[in-house]
């Protein structure tokens, strides 16, 4: 715990001080499971982002199975091209965790058991009332001369070694173990060793338009920025429920970069209007949560086809208990009637998936819970249940605003069951946002 508080500690500090700035990095993700068809190496995205923030470019990344010779080959090749090599994974306790051994082979360094680390791992197990399995002792093996990075969320420590002005970093594979270590490194040693240029970024999140419609609106604007000095890069990404515009700029002058990015963001926002819901990286559930919290309003929801996903997303936000009252998942018609008071005759007349039923659900749950804002969602998530009139993807959403005024809308979402559920929650939250912002 004490070591953790200090970030990391240099155990050995022989060798000359090297001052060449780190500019180019490569990542090697280790793990046979990453070569299968189920796992994607998402760590490298985080590493790319974090390194780019301190001006280090990720130039290549590789994924390799649990084979010591291969890992060593790749490490050697990466060291011949890059200033910084980050290896992730393969630091676990089992036989097939070979990253330590591979790097030891490349650098011709012995591995030595670190008593402090094995004691820490033992304590970690003891805290959970468990004895440390003998195999975990391997995780205390450290490259001679390495800086040890404490692991706050797991057993395997990270390690940093330098060789001829190059830096080699070993990080554990689980993201929640890796991320704090990389943060500490970028704020500390790696940040100090990088050059003066930093990458600055801004984002806009948009909903209610397709990717090509966003592109059409903004392309004439951003294309000129590519050739400005310094050039400002714009990337458009379509993700579930939102289109994202990512702006980035390399500069050694934070204040000039900030001004340039703010101007660019405002320019793009002005042509996209109310469809821009976030200009600071907050997601929809945070935007809606902050609107509710700052206005001291509470929310409740009655969900049918989304099955609880709307309330679950809203309650993913820390502190949401101050504005989320709760609600009901009303999968059957009987429950729509008994819990939200939706008249059976209304369901019979319009069908369970209809705007009148969505409104009755929202009004019913609002009355039942005393919330200021209420949402009713009813739709067909599929794959079954669609009809020619109401195909899969049809979702009616009603929002009752604080004064009691009602907005209702029928969406037609593409995709499978999971997509329809997600899009419906995104559409419902956007309706709440627009209602609260008077848009």
Site for a second copy in 323-382 (CB under 8 A): 324-332, 335, 338-339, 368-369, 381-382
**Which CB, 143 or 399, lies closer to a second copy?**
399
Token duo for residue 145: 């001369």
- Among residues 17, 19, 36, 389, which is the contact residue for a second copy, using CB under 8 A? 36
**Which CB, 251 or 304, lies closer to a second copy?**
304
Residues in contact with a second copy, shown as a per-residue x/- string from 122 to 161 under the rule CB under 8 A: --------x--x-xx----------------x--------
Interface positions, 8-27, toward a second copy (CB under 8 A): none
- Reference 299, options 273, 266, 327, 280; nearest CA is 327
CA distance 144 to 328: 58
Token duo for residue 361: 């659900």
**Which CB, 71 or 161, lies closer to a second copy?**
71
Q: At what angle do helices 417-437 and 284-294 cross, to 10 degrees?
A: 30
Give the shortest CB-19-to-a second copy separation in angstroms.
26
Interface positions, 52-71, toward a second copy (CB under 8 A): 52, 58-65, 67, 70
433 sits near a second copy (criterion: CB under 8 A) = no
- Among residues 3, 18, 32, 350, which is the contact residue for a second copy, using CB under 8 A? 32
Stretch that binds a second copy, among 39-47, 164-172, 188-196, 401-409 (CB under 8 A): 39-47
Q: Look at the alpha carbons of 107, 113, 114, 117 in this order and tell me if their dihedral is positive or negative.
A: positive
Give the shortest CB-285-to-a second copy separation in angstroms.
11
Interface positions, 64-123, toward a second copy (CB under 8 A): 64-65, 67, 70, 74, 77, 81, 93-96
196 sits near a second copy (criterion: CB under 8 A) = no
- Among residues 48, 346, 406, 408, which is the contact residue for a second copy, using CB under 8 A? 48
Question: Residue 409: in which H helix or E strand, if any?
Answer: strand 406-412
Stretch that binds a second copy, among 185-193, 250-258, 409-417, 431-439 (CB under 8 A): 409-417
**Which CB, 19 or 37, lies closer to a second copy?**
37
CA angle 420, 437, 274 (to 5 degrees): 65
Token duo for residue 278: 């976030």
Give the shortest CB-339-to-a second copy separation in angstroms.
8
CA distance 123 to 120: 5
Give the shortest CB-12-to-a second copy separation in angstroms.
30
Specify whether the CB–CB gap between 245 and 268 falls below 8 A.
yes
Interface positions, 220-239, toward a second copy (CB under 8 A): 223, 235-238
Mention every residue, 6+ apart, whose C-beta is less than 8 A from residue 356. Answer: 346, 349, 350
How many residues in total does the chain contain? 439
Give the shortest CB-212-to-a second copy separation in angstroms.
5
Interface positions, 292-311, toward a second copy (CB under 8 A): 301, 303, 306-311
- Among residues 10, 20, 219, 387, which is the contact residue for a second copy, using CB under 8 A? 219
CA distance 17 to 359: 69
Number of residues that bind a second copy (CB under 8 A): 95
CA distance 8 to 6: 6
Give the shortest CB-294-to-a second copy separation in angstroms.
18
Residue 407 pairs in a beta bridge with: 399
| Pairing label, strands 57-64, 24-30 | parallel
CA distance 73 to 64: 10
**Which CB, 39 or 109, lies closer to a second copy?**
39
Interface positions, 381-400, toward a second copy (CB under 8 A): 381-385
Token duo for residue 170: 């070993």
């Amino acid at each position: 715990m004490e070591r953790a508080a200090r970030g990391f500690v240099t155990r050995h500090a022989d060798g000359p001080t090297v001052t060449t700035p780190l500019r180019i990095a490569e990542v090697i993700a280790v793990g046979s499971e990453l070569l299968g068809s189920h796992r994607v190496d998402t760590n490298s995205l985080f590493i790319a982002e974090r390194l780019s923030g301190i001006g280090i470019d990720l130039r290549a990344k590789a994924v390799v199975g649990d084979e010591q010779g291969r890992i060593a080959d790749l490490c050697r090749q990466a060291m011949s091209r890059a200033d910084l090599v980050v290896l992730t994974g393969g630091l676990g306790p089992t036989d097939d965790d070979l990253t330590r051994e591979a790097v030891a082979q490349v650098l011709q360094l012995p591995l030595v058991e670190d008593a402090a680390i094995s004691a820490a791992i033992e304590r970690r197990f003891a805290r959970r009332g468990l004895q440390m399995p003998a195999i975990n002792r391997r995780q205390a093996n450290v490259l001679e001369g390495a800086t040890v990075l404490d692991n706050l969320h797991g057993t395997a420590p990270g390690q940093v070694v330098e060789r001829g002005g190059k830096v080699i970093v070993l990080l554990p594979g689980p993201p929640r173990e890796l991320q704090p270590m990389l943060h500490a490194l970028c704020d500390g040693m790696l940040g100090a060793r990088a050059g003066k240029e930093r990458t600055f970024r801004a984002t806009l999140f948009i909903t209610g338009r397709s990717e090509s419609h966003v592109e059409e609106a903004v392309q004439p604007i951003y294309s000129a920025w590519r050739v400005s000095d310094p050039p400002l890069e714009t990337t458009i990404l379509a993700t579930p429920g939102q289109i994202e515009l990512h702006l980035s700029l390399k500069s050694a002058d934070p204040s000039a970069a900030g001004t340039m990015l703010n101007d660019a963001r405002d320019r793009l926002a002005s042509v996209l209007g109310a469809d821009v819901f976030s200009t600071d990286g907050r997601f929809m559930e945070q935007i809606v949560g902050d609107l509710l919290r700052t206005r001291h309003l509470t929310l409740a929801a009655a969900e049918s086809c989304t099955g609880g996903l709307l309330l679950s997303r809203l309650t993913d936000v820390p502190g949401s208990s101050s504005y989320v009252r709760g609600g009901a998942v009303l999968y059957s018609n009987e429950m729509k009637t008994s819990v939200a008071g939706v008249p059976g005759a209304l369901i019979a007349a319009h069908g369970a998936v209809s705007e009148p039923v969505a409104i009755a659900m929202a009004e019913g749950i609002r009355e039942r819970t005393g919330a200021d804002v209420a949402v009713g969602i009813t739709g067909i998530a599929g794959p079954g249940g669609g009809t020619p009139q109401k195909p899969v993807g049809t979702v009616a959403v009603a929002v009752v605003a604080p004064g009691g005024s009602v907005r209702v809308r029928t969406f037609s979402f593409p995709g499978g069951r999971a997509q329809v559920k997600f899009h419906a929650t995104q559409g419902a939250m956007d309706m709440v946002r627009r209602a609260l912002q008077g848009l």
